[in-house]
Each structure stands twice: as structure tokens, then as C-alpha cells.
Amino acid sequence: MKRINMFKYALSKYALCFSLFCVFLFPLNAETQEKQQDINISPALIFHNMGRNMLHSVTYNYGLNFGGAALGTWGFVATGLDWEWRNVCYNNQWLPSMGLPLLFAGYIVPVITPIPVYLAGRHLSDTKLQITAVALAQSLALSQITQVSLKMLTGRSIPGVISGVSYEPKHFRDPRTDDFSGEFNWFTFNFYDGWPSGHVVSAFSAAACIAEIYDDKTLLKVGVYTYAFLMGFSVAANAHWASESFAGALMGYAIGKTVGKSFNKLLGKNDEPEKVSPFFTANTVGVLIRI
């Protein structure tokens, strides 16, 4: 019963975020097109190469990002780094408390950000801004698909550092003194807590996406990656194990870079082929690796 209630709570929270996203996108999609058709990008472009981008996110950098996320997590657990950092935060409550504002922002910022970016692009007749907005929306969607699927699969226990936080009601301080950082409950279908950190996947995917599209804006890149790193540190101090932030950063970076490159092609950039691509013929299925 407890697991069912947790499932319902997580489902309602994600449904709320998705509904909010749709509520804002619907009127944009229903707007009457202005006379200058070439500078008005439809929000439906969020589906541009979506399936292909999901696949290439996993194979990005020859799959080293996703593979490194799993291997790195094992290393954090095996060496005791996850447990040691968790105890530092558990015994110094100012650390998790300091990160709570960003933990809360991590639920709102990724959902809201594409909307003002898109509206600004429409107002300024800036195609690049509009494309950036729909690219951010797609990177958020792929981030959610990735982290929710993996959480449902791995069922990793929470570190038990915080309690009494209104928007994290399932978190309670865990008094256990034995290392439980390696506690995975496979196929529990709990897609709210666990490995990897959804906050960090979303933050790094957005940062990498923006940095890829605006690759000539150094200060902008510094700003978005600073936000992503702060998000990673904050959630590793309260709601997640350190390895979950590490894994989320690697996965999110791969997603953001892939989506950014895909949407850059709409701007006439990055025409080089993908390094790892699936290929199909009448009687053959395989993977093509370009060196």
C-alpha cells in the first residue's frame, strides 16, 4: 500500500508539471501566424527528430557518458565516497538546508524556461531564440523519459538526509549507521526518487543544449553551466547520493549536446554525420561507428 501511495504521489507531481507545460504551449500553438511566416517557429517542432535524438543521446561520445554514469556510480559506492559524503551532510544540516532553494527551483525552472524564451523569440522575430525554446522543451522531455525509466528500473534507496520538507514529503532522516548506499531495489517502479538525479539531468541537458546552440557566447555558457553545477551540488547534499548527481550530469550533458546539434542543423550548422548511428537494410540491422 505504501508503494502504491508513493507511485500515485509521484505520478500526480509529474502530471502537474506536464499539464502546466501543455497549458502554456497550447495557446502558443493556436496563435494566428503573423505575416512573416519564415520567422515564426511552431511549438510542434519539439518533436523534431525526437526518437533519433533519444537514441543518439545514449550513443553520444560512443556511449561513454551513459556507460560512465553507471561505472562511476559503482565507483562511488565501492570506494565509500557516497556514504562518506552522505554522512557529512547528515551531520551538518546547514549543507542540505543551503541546497533546498535550488532543489525546489529544479522542479519549476526546466518547465517554465522554454516559454519566455519562445515568447521573446516571437516578439523579437528571432528564429534562433524560438528554436532554442523548442530545443529546451525537447531536451526536458528526453531528460524525463531517461531518468524516470532508470529510476523505475533501479529503485535505489534515498540517502535519508532531510525531513520535514513540504515539497519532498517522502524524505525522512535515516538513522542507520551501516552503509546502505548500495541498496538497489530493482523494478520497484518508483520513478520519483533514486538513480539518477532528475534535477541534474534536466539542468545539464538544458545547459549543454544552450551552449551548443550559442557556442559563441562565452558568458552565457559560463552562466548556464554554473547553474547546472550548483544544482548538482545542491541535490547531492539533500535529496540524492553524490553518485546520482554525477550520473545525472553525464547523461544530461549527452542529451543536451545531442538535441543542440540536431536543432543547430535547422540553423544550417553541424552538418557532420553522427559518430554512432543505427543502420537498416532489407535483411540487416546494425550499428555504424565513424572514427
Along the 291 residues of the chain, how does pLDDT read in single tens digits?
A: 444 444 444 444 444 444 434 433 333 333 333 333 445 788 899 999 999 999 999 999 999 999 999 999 999 999 999 999 999 999 999 999 999 999 999 999 999 999 999 999 999 999 999 999 999 999 999 999 999 999 999 999 999 999 989 889 889 999 999 999 999 999 888 778 899 999 999 999 999 999 999 999 999 999 999 999 999 999 999 999 999 999 999 999 999 999 999 999 998 876 555 555 555 444 555 555 655
Strands (E), the chain: 276-280, 285-289
Side chain identity at 58, as an amino acid letter?
V
Query: So where are the chain's domains?
Result: 2-29+44-289
- Integer Rg of the chain from CA: 20
223: left (phi over 0), alpha (psi -120 to 50) or beta: alpha
Name the residue among 51, 59, 106 with its Cα closest to residue 257: 59
- Give the residue ranges of DSSP H helices in 191-217: 198-213
Helix (H, G, I), strand (E, B) or coil at 287: strand
